Amino acid sequence: MVNRQKKIEVSGLSVAFGNKDVIRNITFDVSGNEVLGIIGPAQSGKTTLLKVLNRTLELVPQAKIDGIVRVDGENIREIKDVYSYRRRVGMVAPLPVGLPLSVYDNVAFAPRRAGLRKRAPLHDLVEKCLRQAALWDEVKDRLGSLGARLSGGQQQRLTIARALSHQPEILCLDEFSIAIDPVTTMRIEDVLKELKSEMTIILVTNLVQQARRLADRTAFFLNGDLVEIDATEKMFSGHAFDQRTNDYVSGDFG
């Protein structure tokens, strides 16, 4: 169930790379335990938004960020401990990029860096994350094997397990299914439905029907503008406020 308390508040957010506007003056909020789907054509600012949320866009020298993003009422750009904040926002990239470590150590890496050293609690957390990512049963007998030797779909689920190892409050997924098969995609979607009870999920997807299956609300981005955000079923039933949204979700363009 969606927690009506606001988890994320975005107000007047604009992003530019040099003279190129990437996001223009967008405002919206996300409730706790909500799945927000973000759809739109390429170059619409979707991935950039995720990087703003987890404060990695600040690592790009030419990026200019205006506006305010709050998490739990706190302006995230005023948070001093950036590394601690980033542990609160898990990120899953389009392509699975694992660490050159074993399956176990891929998941244990971040908790160890955060100070979790005791064997039993660490093992319990690794197992929990692998179970949450629907991967435990497939890898429990080869936790010492290199993560890179897993199949593509398994590596993507390992990426999700690694993101969960931070025990994040917010999970951002950037087109997680772009390089995996439909069966694995559906397995991960089932995982996300279960994780919703524990965290807020931001789902950037190039598959509009995926947003329809998973998202409580959907936001449509176009050329850096937030065209609209509304209940997913309303937007996918031909009743979107903006005709461009209706055209995009129906496949007339995009």
Nearest to residue 89, comparing CAs of 178, 177, 202?
Answer: 202
Q: What is the pLDDT of residue 2?
A: 62
Tell me whether residue 67 is in a domain: yes
Tell me whether residue 125 is in a domain: no
Tell me whether residue 46 is in a domain: yes
∠ at Cα 177 (174, 178), nearest 5°? 85
**pLDDT mean over 108-117:** 85
H/E run at residue 123: helix 119-132
Q: Which range marks the domain in which residue 15 is found? A: 1-88+202-254
Q: What is the pLDDT of residue 3?
A: 61
**pLDDT mean over 141-163:** 90
Q: 19 or 95: which carries more pLDDT confidence? A: 19
**pLDDT mean over 188-195:** 89
Tell me whether residue 157 is in a domain: no
CB contact at 8 A, 107 and 139: no
Answer yes or no: is pLDDT of 43 > 80.
yes
CB contact at 8 A, 57 and 65: yes
pLDDT band at 253 (very low <50, low <70, confident <90, very high): low
Tell me whether residue 128 is in a domain: no
DSSP E strand stretches across 33-141:
35-39, 63-71, 74-75, 89-92
Q: 39 or 239: which carries more pLDDT confidence? A: 39
**pLDDT mean over 76-99:** 87
Report the amino acid identity of residue 99. L
Tell me whether residue 216 is in a domain: yes
Q: What is the CATH number of the domain that holds 55?
A: 3.40.50.300
> Mean pLDDT in the chain?
90
Answer yes or no: is pLDDT of 229 > 70.
yes
Residue 57 tokens, joined: 């866009």
If one counts the domains in the chain, the total is: 1
Tell me whether residue 57 is in a domain: yes
Return d(Cα 27, Cα 40) in angstroms, integer: 17
